Chain A
Amino acid sequence: MTLETSTWATKKGLAQMLKGGVIMDVVTSDQAKIAEDAGAVAVMALERVPADIRKAGGVARMSDPEMIVGIMDAVSIPVMAKARIGHFVEAQVLEALGVDYIDESEVLTPADEHNHIDKHAFKVPFVCGCRNLGEALRRINEGAAMMRTKGEAGTGNIVEAVHQLRDVLSEIRRLQAMREDELFVAAKDLQAPYELVRKVAADGRLPVVNFVAGGISTPADAALVMQLGAEGVFVGSGIFKSEDPARMANAIVQATTFFDDAKKIAEVSKGLGAPMRGIALEEIPEQERLAVRGW
């Protein structure tokens, strides 16, 4: 019997196992334990949550390997970590540490303004951000095994996440309505490979799992994007910037499972304390927006 490791089915498959779940940003092993106990399906190990990266300014890089390994040892659920866009050496380091998923993330400062990482070259699977269908299919073509819409990280504001998810899904519905011979031009317009465009048109969904990130800070936020068609959620600053992180984390997990059951969402939303303080999008100057990073 030959065992084949790091195949496309295992890379994409881990994301399938995370569906219907919540992936939480954590900066210490203690937070990772809190997240696991609250029902997180995976944690994202990083030095600062996006809200603090935004505040700190400067260049945001891959986290300290020691801190990532500490979190890997602390929990039994999968651990993800972020590399800068195009920084394939940070990705090599994360692979060497044995993380379960790499997020090539716009939350960190990009290392390459033209090229993303060639993700086919890695054994570890990648998740990437997107704002629209074209961007998603370009990342999948480069080897991403999971997608997430970017939202606007660290704002506690769901508006961009909703906008981008609606864009991706309505573009998919548009492809489904097309004649076969119209898909060639659609691929040109999307700046995406024709084969992927054709597959999306036939299946009515992306060829990989699609989560939502960037701005989720309440159970109702999570349920909103799930009802719109997300397959799961990333919560960054929304948990550990809230008043009672363990309760907020647990409530978001419950609301992600029962996303279409308003009574249960109401029940789990009671008495959670204050969610993170949000930022209106108009308050963020164009050049400080994270979602525009990546192409």
Chain B
Amino acid sequence: MRIGVLALQGAFREHLDTLRAIGVEGVRVREPADLDDVSGLILPGGESTTMRLLIERWGLREPILDLADRGAPIFGTCAGMIVLSRDIAGDEAPILPLLDVTVERNAFGRQLDSFEAELSVPVLGDTPVHAVFIRAPVIERTGPGVNVLARLDDGRVVAVRERNIIATAFHPELAGETRFHRLVATMAAEHDDPGEGSGRRPHPTRRARSTRLAR
């Protein structure tokens, strides 16, 4: 199993390092052919305006939307969250509208307002996530199918999941945090082998009747 990391611009090396740390093979993705044998995709932090330009210029939009459509996990951090949002505050056109949310860019202000915090992310367990926010976005609105994974004390949403799409406003890859990547790897493995855990136990010697299983 291989997980792609969009490597057009930004902190993609840090994501590849994190994948290596959990024993998962990561591959750089810069053009459509790089997506051929990946089971999931990570969109790193960087500048969303630059990524938008490069995604459009090199025809990555449709192939990534197809990958998401097939159910492969897609995980965006910071700029990656902006790239995945259906609505971007301020009437900017969406880039890969896969998450039913409205995102606000640079929601905390400028670099002087960048910060670190211990963030509770219940779905990852009791140990808080050490979250680094750099000129970070915030989710202003979530659609009905969107699960909120983490909020700041003031209630602002900074991590979400909608089916196979996960996004965080902060950077787990800068803090040695591997749990999000493990989650993505688990989802990717499940995507590769949808039979896992489904309870099908074919007889060891008799061939299964394909007509029944096909349903």
A interface, CB within 8 angstroms of B: 1-7, 9-10, 13-14, 16-21, 36, 38-42, 72, 76-78, 95, 98-101, 123-125, 250, 253-254, 256-258
Is B181 positioned at the interface, with any CB of A under 8 Å from its CB? no
- Are B115 and A20 interface neighbours, CB within 8 A? no
Is B12 positioned at the interface, with any CB of A under 8 Å from its CB? yes
B interface, CB within 8 angstroms of A: 7-14, 30, 45-47, 49-50, 53-54, 57, 78-79, 105-106, 109-119, 132-135, 152-153, 171, 174-175
The smallest C-beta distance from B110 to any residue of chain A, in angstroms, reads 5
Q: Which residues of A contact B46 (CB under 8 A)?
A: 17-21, 41
- Are B47 and A9 interface neighbours, CB within 8 A? no
Contact of B134 among A10, A42, A99, A257 (CB under 8 A): A10
Q: Which residues of B contact A257 (CB under 8 A)?
A: 8-9, 30, 54
A–B Cβ pairs within 8 angstroms, 16 of them? A1-B117, A3-B117, A5-B115, A9-B175, A10-B116, A10-B132, A14-B135, A17-B134, A38-B53, A76-B105, A95-B112, A98-B112, A99-B111, A100-B112, A254-B57, A257-B54
Residue of B nearest to A79 (CB): B110
A10-B114 contact given A1-B119, A20-B46, A257-B54, CB 8 Å threshold: yes
Q: Which residues of A contact B135 (CB under 8 A)?
A: 14, 17, 78, 100
The smallest C-beta distance from B173 to any residue of chain A, in angstroms, reads 9
A39-B50 contact given A20-B12, A100-B110, CB 8 Å threshold: yes
Residue of B nearest to A258 (CB): B30
Question: How far apart sit A35 and B105, CA to CA, in the bound complex (Å)?
Answer: 19
- Are A76 and B106 interface neighbours, CB within 8 A? yes
Question: How far apart sit A13 and B132, CA to CA, in the bound complex (Å)?
Answer: 8
The smallest C-beta distance from B151 to any residue of chain A, in angstroms, reads 10
Question: How far apart sit A13 and B77, CA to CA, in the bound complex (Å)?
Answer: 13
Q: Which residues of A contact B50 (CB under 8 A)?
A: 21, 39-41, 77, 253
- Are B152 and A1 interface neighbours, CB within 8 A? yes
Question: How far apart sit A39 and B171, CA to CA, in the bound complex (Å)?
Answer: 22
- Are A16 and B114 interface neighbours, CB within 8 A? no
Q: Which residues of A contact B78 (CB under 8 A)?
A: 17
Question: Can you name 8 extra interface pairs (CB under 8 A) apart from A21-B46, A41-B47?
Answer: A1-B153, A5-B114, A5-B115, A21-B47, A36-B49, A76-B49, A78-B110, A98-B110
Q: In this complex, which of A10, A14, A77, A98 has the most chain B Cβ atoms within 10 angstroms of its Cβ?
A: A10
Residue of B nearest to A75 (CB): B49
Q: Which residues of A contact B106 (CB under 8 A)?
A: 76
Residue of B nearest to A80 (CB): B111
- Are B111 and A125 interface neighbours, CB within 8 A? yes
- Are B115 and A7 interface neighbours, CB within 8 A? yes
The smallest C-beta distance from B140 to any residue of chain A, in angstroms, reads 16
Q: Which residues of B contact A258 (CB under 8 A)?
A: 30
Q: Which residues of B contact A1 (CB under 8 A)?
A: 117-119, 152-153
The smallest C-beta distance from B107 to any residue of chain A, in angstroms, reads 12
- Are A101 and B54 interface neighbours, CB within 8 A? no
The smallest C-beta distance from B122 to any residue of chain A, in angstroms, reads 14
Contact of B132 among A9, A39, A42, A78 (CB under 8 A): A9
- Are B13 and A14 interface neighbours, CB within 8 A? no
Question: How far apart sit A13 and B14, CA to CA, in the bound complex (Å)?
Answer: 11
The smallest C-beta distance from B49 to any residue of chain A, in angstroms, reads 6
Question: How far apart sit A19 and B13, CA to CA, in the bound complex (Å)?
Answer: 9
